[in-house]
Structures are given as C-alpha cells and as structure tokens.
A and B are shown apart, each in its own frame.
Chain A
Amino acid sequence: MSDSRPPLLELQDITKSFGGVTALRGVDFTLLPGEIHGLVGENGAGKSTLMKIIAGVHPEFSGRFLLDGRDVHFRSARDARAAGIAMVHQELSVAPDLTVAENVFFGTQPTNRFGLVQWRRMARDAAEQLKKLGIDADPMARLGDLPIGVQQLIEIARVLFSGARIIILDEPTSALSPPEVERLFAALRRLRSQGTGIIFISHFIEDILLISDEVTVFRNGRKVMQTSAADTSKAALIEAMIGKGRDALEETYTHDITLPAPAMEKPVVVEAEGLSLARSLKHVSFAVRAGEVLGVYGFMGCGQLELARILFGKLAPDAGELRVTGNRQTFRNTAHARRAGIAFVPESRRDMLFHQEPVYKNVSVSILDRISAVLLKPARERTIAQAQVEQLQIRPADVEIDLGLLSGGNQQKVALAKWLSHPPRLLVLCEPTRGMDVGAKSDVIQIVRQLRDRGIAVIVLSTEPETVLSLADRIIVLKRGEVVREFAGETISKDRLLEAA
C-alpha cells in the first residue's frame, strides 16, 4: 500500500533485549500524521517496550529510528518530549497534592516576564481545556481529592493539550466510565483532524476497533499483523494476538453468565459481619465457602480496596467481626492473617513483588517459615519455585532470573505462585486481570478455577465487570461502602451488574 503522506515516525528493524531476554525482534512500525494507530498484544508481547523506545525511556536498542524522515537518537524521555512526543503511561503519574491546574500545566506553567506563575491565566486555560474532555473540575482543587477516573482524564488532558505531534496512550480507558471514554475519543478525533499522530494501546478490543484507523498486533516480541481497522474484526485480532483459541477466553467475552446454585453444603471458611471502617465501609457482611469464588464488584472508591486490606490484616475495622472457620479473629498484622490461612494479591504488582530478587525468592517468601525454622533451605526453595513455574507456565522458565526482567503477565503469575505451594484457606485477589491481555487473563482464570476446585475459598474484588463475571460463582455489589445487591444462582449480564452498582 502506498500513501502520499510522508510518515511522522518510522521504526525499522528494532530489536531490544533486557539482560538476555529479548523483548522485541526486528520490528518495523510506521505512524502517519493524522492517524490513530491501535496496538494490541498480550502482556510481554513488546508493545510497551516499543512505546518506551519511541518515548525515549529506553535509549539503547538496535535498529533505525526516523522522525520526519531523519535519523534520531533520544538519550532520554526529555529529548523525546522536546521532539514533540508525549506519552500517557499505564500507571497514574499525577501529583495528588498539587492543584488540578498545576497538574494540567505540569512543567509548562504560564509565567510572566519575571518568571512568576500566572495563576489566574493558568486556572482559566486549564478549565477551558478540561471542558473539552467534559471535565467540570475546579482548577484550584487539590487533584488527590477527585475520583480516580477524573484524575486519569486530567493526566490524559495534560498530554493531549501539550502540543505534542505524536501522542502515545497506554491503556487510557481502563479506569474510565463509558461516557468518559466517549469524550476522550471525541478529543482524539479532533487532534487527528489537526494532523497529530496517535498511538493507542488497549486490551479493550472494541475500543481499538472503534477509534483506530490502523491496527498492529504484536506477539512474542514480533509484529504479526498490520491491517486497517475497517478490514478486521475482534475475532481476527484475538486470534492474531494469542495464536490459538482458548475456551476460558470465549467465556470471558460471553455476555450472559449463569451463576451456579449456591453450594450450601460446603463449610463456610470466612465470614464477615458488620465490617465498618471510617467513611469507606458500612456494615459489610458476607460469607465465603470452601471451593467457592465470591466476586465483589463495584466502581472505583466503593470500598473494595479497604475491604481486601481488612481481610488480610493490613487495616483494622472500626466495628464488626471476622470469623475464620467459625473462630473470631482480630488480625494484628498481615503476618497474623497469613498464618490464619489468608493469602492476598494486591491490585498493583509493584506492591507485591521484589523486582531485584530472583524469581525463586519471590515465590518462597510467604512460605519460608513453613520450610525452614532458622536456616534457609535454598535447594528446597528452588524445587518448589521450579514446580510452580512449570505449573503456571511462567516464562522464561528460569527461577534464577531477576523478577524485574519478567513481563507484566508473568509477574502476575509469580504473585499467584507465591501462595500456591502451601494452599491458603482463603485467597483474596484484587483486580487479578487488570491491564492484562486476553491470553494472560485466560491463564489467570484457569489458575483461579483450579484453586477453587481444590477447595480453596476465593474472593475476587474488581472494578471490571468482565473480571467478576468470568470468575465468580456468587457476586456481591458494593456501592459507597455498602453491600447493595447479591447475585447467586441466576443468569446475569454485564448490564445488570453495572446497573446494580
């Protein structure tokens, strides 16, 4: 295909490896002016690595990097910004203690000729820009006081209105509500008509198909497909991403789910009664049985995070009680909860793993006191870790490699693996599939189901309806810290779940 427009950005034969692990192999990539280019692929497929090369975060790689047809080499993200390339990263990187306006103009505050910040002008301009994204926030409010979704939109606004010619958005829609996504897309289309090149990464394939002109699919560090968005379908993209069909995957995308009849004969493992915590939780009660997955669904800020932390002894409730196998428990700390048979995987992998330590130490950390009294038994640790790595198909299958060298999806598997060699009574999973691609999602779903079938009680807390629907046997819905609805033994759809919250 030939296009009359010269490309904004052209990458040729890019290869990048991290300490022996090859993340990208001979990738070509082209971005035209006025194009929205969708990027899909499993975790670890190389999307983020390629974007970080473009944004100057990874200055060392092999291959050619042309901007406006000229060879360039960025030494840092600063060089890339100076060249008009801006990126919104997957993790929120705002300054919560600064005002909304300061965040919008971070680093580019308007100043007068004495170098002093022009507050009034900044507030006015910020309000104007945010209105384009449909945000009606007080520019002088402290950013940290606003809901997470709004914070994410403000971060996106900062990049969209920075005047950059190339904008990279990594998973921008994960915390946004449908109307917020709509407004974001409208803003992207406006920028496209002005000639801005936009790279849009998402695991939401519907979003990709809706907004993109061109779509590129990555798998295992290679580009496996590039096509016009109009000429492809969700099924074709998924197939290109994962290579082969998987059963659990299909279920993830089914819209109506029939929950099994509650298994009343199985013993209750953990029971909560009237849990309350300051402004976060009000009289939350539920029970979870052995071999059952309880889904806890709700919007961001509904009290899920706090609930999960109470279950693992990180937070102490103001009122209410927890019973583990019938005995009342007041956890003094997380070690106490762990010894009572509770396992916990937080929503952020960064908070869960030791990036500078080898995989086997990450896997063994929570069971060390079971395998050694005083002296360590490294051989035993390695054997246990090796077994987990093989069972969960963690790649690369090397327990000596530093954890930080693994891809996100594989890190998430390690986060699960650390609880599996000595199965807990209750596994608390926060956002187990957030930011993951379909392939890794389906792996995680399989792992959780196997655990359930072994008789472990599981609580899955998520703000993504698909996650809860694909995993849970029973679902409770949290709204502003209260349980507002329970679904059990019935057929439900995503719509009904959203409605309840």
Chain B
Amino acid sequence: MASEGVPMSEAPVRHGGGAVALLRSQMRNIAPFLTLIFLSAFFAVASPSFATLDNVGNILTQVSVTGIIAVGLTFVILCAEIDLSIASIANVTGIAVAYFTMQESYVNIANLPLPGWAAILLALALCALLGLVNAFGLTVIGIPSFIMTLAMMQIAAGISALLVRGQIAYKVPDLIATLGSNSIAGVPWIVIVAALMLLAGHLVLTYTRFGRYVYMVGGNREAAEYSGLNVKLILGSVMVISAVCSGIGGMLGVAHFGSAQQNEFDTYLLDSIAAVVVGGTSLFGGRGGIGNTIIGLFVLGVLNNGLDHVNIDSFLKILIRGLILLAALVINVYAQRLRAKAAD
C-alpha cells in the first residue's frame, strides 16, 4: 500500500463533458466497428485479391452458418447466460436430418428413411427437445447454464455418435440441400437464410415485448423478478431459441459441407461465442443485440478470410485469431466499466 501523500498530484480541474460521456457509453458499439474497418483496410492493402466482389461473397457465405447459430446465442448472452452446447446441437440436428433421409446404398448407416418434410420436422423437434432439457436444467433444477450446457454438449455429441457410428452420411432432404448449397440469382440461399434469421432476431429483440423482457432479465434479474416478470420462462425460452437456431444452422451446414459426420461443427462453438462477444454484446447481459452480432460476424469473417489471402504461417494464424479475440474481450469488459461509470 502506498504511504501517505504519495499517490496524489496537483488537483486539476476536470469535467466530464456531454460528448465524452456519450462516446464512453457508445464505446461498446464503436470499438467493434472500428476493428472491422481497420481489419478490412489492412487486408485490402495487404492483398489485391481481398477487396473483390467475389471475395465479399465468399466472406458472406463463410459466416452464414455461424450467423444462424449466433442469432440464438445472442439471446442467451443478453440474458447473462451462456450456451456451450450450440455446436453439438447443430451437429446432432444435421446428422438427424440425414439419418431420416434415404442414403445411398454404400453408406453403411442403419438409417430410418422418411419423407423430407418429416425428416426436417423430426430434426427440429430433436433440437427443440435438447433446448428444453437445457431450459429445464437451468430454470427448474437450477444448474448454472455453463455447467448444464457443458453436459448437453456431451449428450448431443453422444447422440450424434450413436446415429452415425463413425460413418458419413451424404443425403439430406431436397429443401435442406437447396437452402444449404444452391444459389438464387447468384446469391447463395444460405446467405439469404442467415440474413433473414438475423433480421428476425433483431425484430424480436427490438420491437417485441419478449425482446424487452430479454434485456430486462439480462440487465437486472432481481429487478425483473420483483417487477413481476416470469424470469424462468424467459430464460427457458432463450435456451430453446438458441437450440433451435443451432439446429437450423446444423441442417444447412450439413447440406453446405455436403456430408454429415461426427465433430463436424466443433469450431463453431468458439466462432459463435466470439462473434457475439466481439460485436460488443455484454457478457454481463442486458447490453448489445443482433446489430452487434452482425459486426462481430464480419470481424471474424474478415479475419478468417483475410488471413488466407496474406502470406503468413498458417500455424501463426491460430495465435493471431486468439490475440484478436482477447483484445475484443478486453474491450467488452472495459466498455461495461465505462458505461457503468457514465451512469453512476
């Protein structure tokens, strides 16, 4: 501890002006945007092939599956919870939809062929059910979401393993195949689906009563309860929304990759969380939204794609990604503090 009188300086006249306060409170939204502009500018200069229309299309396609999953995760993180089972649920839903589709004879899976619509409905029911189990564990039993969804991550991975038994399935219902791998007027369907889901998520969060409740529960859970909101219902709902978004992402992902197999989505857990948090949605809940998630997706997409366009050691890329994520987390926590200070 410092001795008496040491940490003091001449008292300067200070005053927190209105513009500074506004900037501080908006730090959460400004910082990710600046990061995006900076990264884009950097890669555009570093590589001639980066800033092309084709490559913009690539980036959009590359972030689509992450984007679909991140819609639901944004709801969860806004409530100050976390869902670690998103990638596993995406995987098991993608596998389930293939499991209920007639596979070629050389695919050695004891599958259960059903009409396409039935396969899709059953797969959706499966992910919704897994989301309900998450919701039940979190709200009724009272298991912290971190632990509950960690268990679900294993459970979903286990179901995936049992369904495919180490094999690879290729066929999915026509609708899913079209949405996952075809284009309309040059725009991939998967980009359109991702955009529509992000838009829907944004509309729900901004213009509906449920969306307001999500922000209130995330902002101050105790106050939400004492205001007579059904906090458990809201928390349960976001867990189900997250699981269903993951499931949709999983089905389209399987069609997009052209195969359904174990551990196919492992990288999407980190990518989705990163997209939400890098975009500036507060890990403490109540602040942020789909707009932030979109920026986060682009930051991640530009980073992943851009690193492929410049000539660096591919092993170094992993480290660079990690460092950029760390920087984003620092900004996230810092922005929360500045905001709290501005409102103090």
Contact = CB atoms under 8 A, between A and B. Distances in A.
A382 interface: no
Given A83-B4, A376-B212, A355 B13 contact: no
Interface residues of B, number: 48
B209 A372 contact: yes
Contacts of B230: 333-336
B216 A82 contact: no
Contacts of B229: 334-335, 365-366
Interface string B244-259: 0000000000000000
Contacts of A19: 16, 18, 21, 342-343
Nearest to A74: B8
B167 to A, nearest CB: 44
A83 B11 CA distance: 15
B314 interface: no
B311 interface: no
B292 to A, nearest CB: 15
Given A82-B2, A337-B228, A352-B227, A62 B7 contact: no
Contacts of B286: 354, 356
A333 B208 contact: no
Contacts of A312: 226, 228
B8 A368 contact: no
Interface string A386-405: 00000000000000001011
B9 A334 contact: no
A65 B339 CA distance: 26
Contacts of A352: 223, 226-227
Contact of B11 (A20, A72, A355): A72
A197 to B, nearest CB: 15
A64 B11 contact: yes
Nearest to B211: A376
Contacts of B9: 73
B266 interface: no
Interface string B1-27: 111111111111111101001000000
Interface string B309-344: 000000000000000000000000000000110111
A346 interface: yes
B18 A84 contact: no
A253 interface: no
Contacts of B291: none
Interface in A335-381: 335-339, 343-346, 350-357, 361, 365-366, 368-369, 372-376
Contacts of A84: 4
Contacts of A18: 16, 344
B106 interface: no
B8 A79 contact: yes
B343 A405 contact: yes
B342 A368 contact: no
A418 B208 contact: no
B212 A361 contact: yes
B220 interface: yes
Interface in B210-224: 210-213, 215-216, 219-220, 222-224
A407 to B, nearest CB: 13
B1 A82 contact: yes
Nearest to A372: B209
Nearest to A374: B208
A352 B226 CA distance: 6
Contacts of B3: 82
A71 interface: yes
A418 B227 contact: yes
Interface in A22-62: 58-62
A373 B208 CA distance: 9
Contacts of A494: none
Contacts of A333: 225, 230-232
A357 B219 contact: yes
Contact of B220 (A60, A337, A354, A376): A354
B287 interface: yes
Contacts of B216: 354, 357, 361, 365
A73 B10 CA distance: 6
Contacts of A356: 219, 286-287, 339-340, 343
A323 interface: no
Contact of B226 (A17, A75, A351): A351
Contacts of B212: 361, 365, 368, 376
Nearest to B340: A356
A6 interface: no
B208 A60 contact: no
A356 to B, nearest CB: 6
Interface string A81-99: 0111000000000000000
A353 B220 contact: yes
Contacts of A449: none
Contacts of A59: 14
Interface in A387-429: 402, 404-405, 418
B209 A368 contact: yes
A47 B95 CA distance: 64
Contacts of B207: 375-376
B14 A60 contact: yes
Name, among B207, B224, B225, B228, the residue most crowded by chain A CB atoms within 10 Å (CB to CB): B228
Given A20-B18, A73-B11, A365-B227, 9 more contacts: A18-B344, A60-B15, A71-B11, A82-B5, A334-B227, A351-B223, A354-B219, A355-B220, A376-B211
